Amino acid sequence: MLSYRHAFHAGNHADVLKHFVQVQLHLYMNQKDVAYTYIDTHSGAGVYALDSFQATKTGEYDTGIGPLWNATDVPEALKPYLDLVRGMNPSGKMRYYPGSPYVADQMSRLDDRLRLFELHPADVKILSENVRKAEAHRAEQGERARGKRVLIEHGDGFQSLKKLLPPPSRRALVLVDPPYEVKDDYKKVRDALEEALGRFPAGMYAVWYPVLQRMESRQFPDKLKRLPAKEWLNVTLTVSTPGPDGIGLHSSGMFILNPPYTLEAMLRETMPYLVQVLGKDAGARFTIETGTQLTGAASARLAGEGPRAPVGNARRASPLSGKGSLRLPGQSMVREGEAAAPAVPKTGARRVWHPDGSVQGKAGGAGEGGKRPPAAGATGARSAAPRADGARTNGPRTAGPRPAGPRSGGKGGGKR
C-alpha cells in the first residue's frame, strides 16, 4: 500500500494538469484579504529532482513539463504555473519540479495556513526537510517565515479532514490526490469528501484522479457529481490513445467541488493549447463538464443549445392524473385515454474538442462533427441531465403512469 513514490512520475502530463489548476485555485483564493487554510491529504515529497534515478528511469516529464519548458506562445493562464516551475530552476536548466506542497507554499500568502499530510515514511521526511529549507531561505532573504502556519503530519489525510474542518477563518482549499493503488482509494475519496462537505459546505475541494479502463475509475466522476456540493467542474486531459493492454496513464482529470466561477472560461481558452503541445496522436483531447446540485446528482447540460430542458427535480408528479403520472413543465396534462405528449428531447451529451479545431458530439452513441467556435464565445460542453433514478438518457421523455412498487434511485457509493 505504501509502495507508491511520486518521484517516478513527477512532471508528467497529469502533474501539468493538476498543478496548473491548483495555481489557478490559489490565485482565486488570494483575491480576498481573509486568510485561508490549504489542506493537502497526500502531499508527497514536495520537490522532485528530474535528474534523479527515479525520474530518469521513467522519463515521464517528457510527456508534460518537458515540451512546455521552452514554449513561448503559451496562453496567459498558463504563465503563472510555468513561471513557478522556472523560478525553482534559476540556471535555466530543468532540474527540479514542484509537488503540490511547494505550489501551495509559493502561491499562498504568509498568513495562510498549510496543513500537509503524507503516509509514506520516506517521503514525509523529505517533505519536512524541503519545508525547513524553504523557511531557511526566507530567513536568509530577510523575509518573514510562516513558522507554525505550516504543519506536517505523518498520517492519513482522509482522517485528518475531520479535525481541520471547518477552519478558523471559514475559508479552505483542499487538495485530494491519493495514489489510487488500490480500488478502495476511490471509495475513500468519495466518503471523505461527503463528510467534509457536511462539516464545511463552503470549502473548495479539488480532486485529481486517473482516467483508466478499470470500472472504479470509469464510475468515479459520476459518483463525485452526486456529492452535496453547490456546483462542480470536471476537466480531463488525454494525451494519447490507450493501448489495447490498458497499461500506462494516458489521461487524467481534475474534479473541483465549489469551483471558482472564472475557472470554466479559463480552461476553455487553455486546454486546446495543452492538447496541441502534449498530444501524441489523434486520440489526444480534453473534456470539460460543469453542473449544479439541482438534482443532487449530475445536472449539467450543453450551453447554447436552446431552451433549457427540465431536469431532475423539475420533473414532478401530476396531481390531476390520479395515477401518479409524471409530466414536465410545459407538457399538456395526460388524461385517461389520451396519448402522452413527448417532452423536449435532450441531445448532445458531450462535445470533445480536438487539436485540429474539429468538435465531436456524442448523443446516445452517435457522433456529429463540426468546427469549434471561437474561444471568446465558447461555451461549455456538458453532460446530459440524468433521470430521477440516476440513469442517463439522451432521448425524449414521455409522460405516463408511474410503475407500481417503490421507486428506484439513490446516491452512488464510492495515482497513478
Q: Please give the pLDDT value at position 63.
A: 87
- pLDDT tens column, 38-96: 999 999 888 888 876 666 666 687 888 999 998 889 999 999 999 999 999 999 999 99
CA gap 113, 146 in Å, rounded: 8
With the CA atoms of 74, 79, 85 and 91 taken in that order, what torsion angle do they form, in degrees rounded to the nearest 10? Answer: 80
* Confidence tier at 334 by pLDDT (50, 70, 90): very low
Q: Please give the pLDDT value at position 399.
A: 43
**Mean pLDDT computed over 340-349:** 42
* Confidence tier at 308 by pLDDT (50, 70, 90): very low
CA gap 341, 347 in Å, rounded: 18
- Local structure of residue 314 (DSSP, 8 states): G
Look at 70-79, 205-214, 225-234, 379-388 and tell me which has the smallest mean pLDDT.
Answer: 379-388
- List the catalytic residue out of 177, 184, 191, 389: 177
Q: Please give the pLDDT value at position 148.
A: 80
Residue count of the chain = 416
CA gap 63, 10 in Å, rounded: 10
* Confidence tier at 293 by pLDDT (50, 70, 90): confident
**Mean pLDDT computed over 92-102:** 92
Quick one: 162 exposed, middle or buried, by C-beta within 10 A (0-12, 13-18, 19+)? exposed
With a pLDDT cut of 90, the percent of the chain lying above it is: 47
Q: Which residue, among 266, 210, 199, has the nearest Cα to 233 in the 3D structure? A: 266
Look at 103-107, 108-112, 306-310 and tell me which has the smallest mean pLDDT.
Answer: 306-310
Contacts of 391 (CB under 8 A, 6+ apart): none
Q: Please give the pLDDT value at position 401.
A: 46
CA gap 97, 48 in Å, rounded: 5
201 preceded by a cis bond (ω within 30 of 0): no
Q: Please give the pLDDT value at position 130.
A: 86
- pLDDT tens column, 116-166: 999 988 889 999 898 888 888 777 888 877 778 899 999 888 988 989 999
Contact 190, 227 (CB under 8 A): yes
Name the grid cell of 145: 517565515
Q: Please give the pLDDT value at position 61.
A: 78
Mean pLDDT score across all residues of the chain = 76
Q: Please give the pLDDT value at position 298.
A: 42
Q: Please give the pLDDT value at position 321.
A: 32
Is 290's pLDDT higher than 70?
Answer: yes
pTM of the predicted model, to two decimals?
0.71
**Mean pLDDT computed over 349-358:** 48
Q: Please give the pLDDT value at position 360.
A: 53
Q: Please give the pLDDT value at position 125.
A: 92
CA gap 44, 7 in Å, rounded: 9
CA gap 410, 297 in Å, rounded: 9
Is 177 an annotated catalytic residue? yes
Q: Please give the pLDDT value at position 53.
A: 60
Question: Between 51 and 230, where is the model more confident?
Answer: 230
Question: Between 59 and 113, where is the model more confident?
Answer: 113
Q: Please give the pLDDT value at position 318.
A: 33
